[in-house]
Amino acid sequence: MPSAAKAPTAESNRSSLSQVCRLLGFPGDTAAPRGEPHFLHRRVKPGHRLVSQGEPVEALYVVSEGHFKTFVADETGHQLVLGFPTRGDLVGADALFEQRHASYSVALTEADVVVIPFKALAGLGHGTGEFEPLLYRAISREIVADHSLRSLTSTLGAEARVARFLANFAERCGSRDAPATHVTLPMTRQEIGSYLGLTLETVSRAFSALAEAGLVDVAQRELDILDPEALRVLQKVHGSADTNRAPGRRTAPAPVAATRPIRRNVTWVDMLGAAA
């Protein structure tokens, strides 16, 4: 992987507030670029933990480079993958409640994070008042992403989940509105499965199916996105017998536009009834 082979150390060991803002994806919020505090960085080697479940919180982190996986481990040792934070993502937000981390975060690749000392938040450093709204937004985004994932897993089938995951991941890898055509997956099939609520075998099968459908080209950890649009739209591939029906053309089938004229009394029901 010739990714960050360039100038790894030169990238920075400290970032200004406005840099962190941009990193988080809030370019507009940079208001006071003056003598604002600079945040230190911290490097994490692959396989090393950034935070551990139960550990008292010392800081929050914003990923600057590399990939992580965050997961919880129940008493029996089983683990559930909660996400794969990468550049621009906040790590450790679940620790603000109870001042203890509620999950593990380990680096999957060589990684670099911006350290946001907990003091800067709890110590009510009003000098840093500029980035409090920023934190709110970042944490809130965690929640939104979480809900989005729940929606994904409870709505789509296995193949569609994997497809969306790949599209999403590739999108987040390509740094600036560059969907990224080729990526090296930093996580195992099992981790993907845990994240999506599937088993590793099902993930593997989904990969094969997507490859056979011509949407991607996957070999082990190497992934080529051939049809990003189809990946994102896909609802079902489900081709065991008639996979090659229309080669080259694969668009989503017409969805059900069932908006039944349900009438009940009050306002909320309009959307309540539609369920199914």
151 makes contact, choosing from its own copies, DNA, none, with CB < 5 to 8 Å by partner type, with its own copies
Pairing label, strands 222-225, 90-91: unpaired
**CB 25: neighbour CB atoms within 10 A?**
13
DSSP helix/strand/coil, 70: strand
The answer to the question of residue 226 lying near DNA (CB under 7 A) is: no
SS3 47: coil
Among 124, 243, 251, 252, interactor with DNA by CB under 7 A:
243
Which amino acid is located at 166 in the chain?
L
d(CA 155, CA 135): 30
Q: Which stretch binds DNA (CB under 7 A): 66-74, 110-118, 226-234, 259-267?
A: 259-267
**Does residue 239 interact with DNA by CB under 7 A?**
yes
Report whether 167 contacts 152 (CB < 8 A): no
156 contacts 196 by C-beta, under 8 angstroms: no
- 96: contact with its own copies by CB under 8 A: yes
Closest CA to 17 of 4, 3, 45, 36: 36
Q: How far is Cα 198 from Cα 130, in angstroms, rounded to an integer?
A: 41
Residue (34 or 249) nearer to its own copies, CB: 249
Minimum separation from the CB atom of position 206 to DNA (A): 8
With contacts defined by CB under 7 A, name the span among 2-10, 12-20, 102-110, 203-211 that binds DNA: 203-211
Region from 49-57, 74-82, 212-220, 250-258 binding DNA, contact rule CB under 7 A? 212-220
Instruction: Give least dist CB 200 to DNA, A.
Output: 6
Q: In angstroms, give the least distance from the CB of 157 to its own copies.
A: 13
Interface residue list for DNA (CB under 7 A): 157-159, 185, 188-190, 197-205, 207-208, 218-221, 238-241, 243, 261-266, 269, 272-273, 275-276
